[in-house]
Amino acid sequence: MAVYGIDLGTTYSSIAYVDATGRPSVVPNTEGDHATPSAVYFEAADKVIVGTAAAQTAVVEPELVVDLIKRAMGKHETLVMHGRRFTPEEISALILRRLMADVEALTGETPTDAVITVPAYFGTPERLATMQAGQIAGLNVIDVLSEPIAAALSYGALNASSERAILVYDLGGGTFDTTVLRIAEDGDIHEISTKGHPALGGVEWDERLAEYVVDRFMEEHPGVPHPFSDPTTVQDIRSRVEEAKRHLSEAEEYTLRLVHAGEVSAVTITRAKFEEITRDLLDTTIEITMAVLAEARERDVDHIDQILLVGGSSRMPAVAARLTEVLGQEPILHDPDLAVAKGAALHALEETYRRLVSLGQPAEAQSLARFCGLSPEQELYIANRSIHRVAGRGFGVLCHDAVANRYHVMPLIKSDDLLPASATRTFYSSYDSQKEIGIQIMEQVGESDDPADHRLVAAATLPLPPDSPAGTAVDVTFQVSTAGALEIEGIPLQTGALSAEEVEAARDYVANMRIA
Ligand code: AMP
């Protein structure tokens, strides 16, 4: 009856549960690793291989391997493999199924209930897509939780004793995320401010290293076709530079071999050189971190007690060094690759416990707590904890300003507003006997009120009474739930790419696929 926490990462994914001693434990996959590459190799339309073998196959058959699918979540994008069209939600579901199968192989139990984590800046469509990926995999998704909250939970928030403010700096494989949280004395977690970059992660560092190595190769072998023109070489370089990067986190220099078009180069790179060619990437993360701290100060959090490093890429020594330099405080680096999965498992347990209590099933809640080895004090602590989340992004309605003849977005809910949030606005009909008013709900992705800084996430029509004169007013209430779902007058809006029927059909298809 364990409940699971899943870190569905851009480059690696992990699954964890709370064991009988009350500690979150990451389930190793059948290869014995705690993180499984988020890569899917399509052997046939109904047969896939997920993980290390898929990532390795990318070298030979790159067109049949999908990676970085997290970056496509919530987008209307599909990939055709062996004649079948796959959505990002389905491909993510295949990764989830592999993690579930690994749990089954180890424990004999198939996970049914899970919390899946997402970057804090994920908007509504991406959160919904993640929820749907879980449903397609056959999971009951208890919650979609922001990664920094999960990280804070696993860094010991369960046993908080005094109020403190935490800065989470999360540099993963494909995304960067930074969040200020306040942990209150009673254990409540308050998200204060959050910012991130959807396409800034370890792979960007890998790319810089690849360019450097290829430039050296071309200097030695000027006559040969460029290595980037050959997809097989590109995949090979990708895995070699990733390995080199990991070595450079430990050693001062590393030599990697590049083989292409019958030529070989041995390229030596020092850590100092690596840091120099990637400095601007690190600078960007620092700028975003300073912005999130500035926003936290506006919300009266002006002292940070702890800086937590999360995400595999935060192992690069330059990260801690630079944060120490600019913030005058040494960050804590502990288990950065697994902290999110572990925190998700803790949250899955806590959330399930609280739901059982609120459903009037205290005996079941207690037996869950006993099963997970919680002491009565810990039980009381989690029973009363609440997590106060903020909106990762703002929402508004597209409006036309007739005087200036321009479109703009009227804000409803601002980014970092406490969730659940609601806003009521009045709309007016523009002509006699108008039957309905159409509204377009936009999610803010940039800074201004310009439609270009937004994307359309949902549309709705507001019915008007028959024979209404021009200027008839209609009040509408918008709500964003704690999970980030958008509702209008209490009715959920479809903000994802897939309808409920499509999710159902995808689940049936995926259930019949062979996944290794
Ligand atoms: P995550 O998504 O948090 O698992 O992070 C995965 C990213 O961390 C990948 O880009 C890895 O290349 C990177 N990574 C893992 N270990 C190290 C390391 N020791 N040094 C530098 N980067 C690492």
Could you tell me if 34 and 156 lie in one domain?
yes
Domain boundary among 238, 256, 277: 277
489: region left, alpha or beta (phi > 0 left; psi from -120 to 50 alpha): left
pLDDT value at position 344?
A: 97
| Highest mean predicted confidence (pLDDT) among 59-68, 131-140, 359-368, 471-480 | 131-140
**Nearest residue CA, atom 8 of ligand 1?**
312
Closest atom of ligand 1 to CA, residue 203: 10
Q: Is 141 helix (H, G, I), strand (E, B) or coil?
A: strand
φ and ψ at residue 410, rounded to 5 degrees: -85, 120
Q: pLDDT class for 334, splitting at 50, 70, 90?
A: confident
pLDDT at position 274 over 80: yes
Domain boundary among 259, 277, 295: 277
Residue 246 sits in a domain whose CATH number is 3.90.640.10
pLDDT at position 318 over 70: yes
Q: Where in the sequence is the domain holding 371, given as residue range(s)?
A: 4-160+336-388
Q: How far apart are CA 216 and CA 209, in angstroms?
A: 11
Could you tell me if 151 and 89 lie in one domain?
yes
Could you tell me if 26 and 121 lie in one domain?
yes
Residue 502 token pair: 């499509």
Which residue out of 15, 245, 275, 316 has the highest number of ligand 1 atoms within 8 Å of its CB and is therefore the one to mutate? 245
**Nearest residue CA, atom 16 of ligand 1?**
312
Distance between Cα 500 and ligand 1 center (Å): 35
Q: Is residue 168 in a domain?
A: no
Q: Which amino acid is at 28?
A: P
Residue 434 token pair: 């108008």
Q: Is residue 177 in a domain?
A: no
Residue 312 token pair: 């595999």
Kindly state if the Cβ of 316 falls inside 6 Å of ligand 1: yes
pLDDT value at position 161?
A: 66
Could you tell me if 14 and 123 lie in one domain?
yes
Give the pLDDT mean for 97-111. Answer: 96
pLDDT at position 55 over 80: yes
Kindly state if the Cβ of 198 falls inside 6 Å of ligand 1: no
**Nearest residue CA, atom 3 of ligand 1?**
311
pLDDT value at position 149?
A: 92
**Nearest residue CA, atom 20 of ligand 1?**
246
CB 133 within 8 A of CB 510: no
Q: Is residue 297 in a domain?
A: no
Could you tell me if 261 and 369 lie in one domain?
no
Q: pLDDT class for 483, splitting at 50, 70, 90?
A: confident
Q: pLDDT class for 160, splitting at 50, 70, 90?
A: low
pTM over 0.85: yes
Distance between Cα 272 and ligand 1 center (Å): 18
For the stretch 355-367, pLDDT in tens is 999 999 999 999 9
pLDDT at position 495 over 90: no
Could you tell me if 149 and 41 lie in one domain?
yes
Kindly state if the Cβ of 337 falls inside 6 Å of ligand 1: yes
Minimal CA–CA distance to 389: which of 149, 112, 85? Answer: 149
Closest atom of ligand 1 to CA, residue 205: 10
Give the pLDDT mean for 157-169. Answer: 78
Q: How far apart are CA 135 and CA 506, in angstroms?
A: 9
Parallel, antiparallel, or unpaired: how do β-strands 140-146 and 263-270 relate? unpaired
Count of residues in the chain: 516
Distance between Cα 241 and ligand 1 center (Å): 12
Kindly state if the Cβ of 35 falls inside 6 Å of ligand 1: yes
Q: Is residue 301 in a domain?
A: no
Kindly state if the Cβ of 311 falls inside 6 Å of ligand 1: yes
For the stretch 199-245, pLDDT in tens is 899 999 999 999 999 999 999 999 899 999 988 888 889 999 999 99
Q: Is residue 493 in a domain?
A: no
Kindly state if the Cβ of 245 falls inside 6 Å of ligand 1: yes
Whole-number mean pLDDT of the chain? 92
C-alpha distance from residue 38 to each of 47, 64, 123, 157, 244 (Å):
16, 14, 21, 28, 20
Give the pLDDT mean for 425-439. Answer: 91
C-alpha distance from residue 483 to each of 13, 264, 416, 418 (Å):
21, 52, 14, 12
pLDDT value at position 96?
A: 98
Place of tokens 């996944």: 515
Closest atom of ligand 1 to CA, residue 10: 2
pLDDT value at position 462?
A: 87
Q: Higher-confidence residue: 203 or 187?
A: 203
Place of tokens 């039980």: 379
Q: Is residue 13 in a domain?
A: yes
Kindly state if the Cβ of 172 falls inside 6 Å of ligand 1: yes
Please name the residue ranges forming H helices in 169-278: 202-220, 231-248, 271-277
Could you tell me if 383 and 399 lie in one domain?
no
Q: Is residue 290 in a domain?
A: no
Which residue out of 36, 238, 313 has the highest number of ligand 1 atoms within 8 Å of its CB and is therefore the one to mutate? 313
Could you tell me if 148 and 8 lie in one domain?
yes
Distance between Cα 336 and ligand 1 center (Å): 9
In total, how many domains does the chain have? Answer: 3
Minimal CA–CA distance to 285: which of 326, 330, 240, 344? Answer: 326
Q: Is residue 212 in a domain?
A: yes
Could you tell me if 67 and 110 lie in one domain?
yes
Distance between Cα 514 and ligand 1 center (Å): 29
Q: Is 446 helix (H, G, I), strand (E, B) or coil?
A: coil
Could you tell me if 265 and 343 lie in one domain?
no
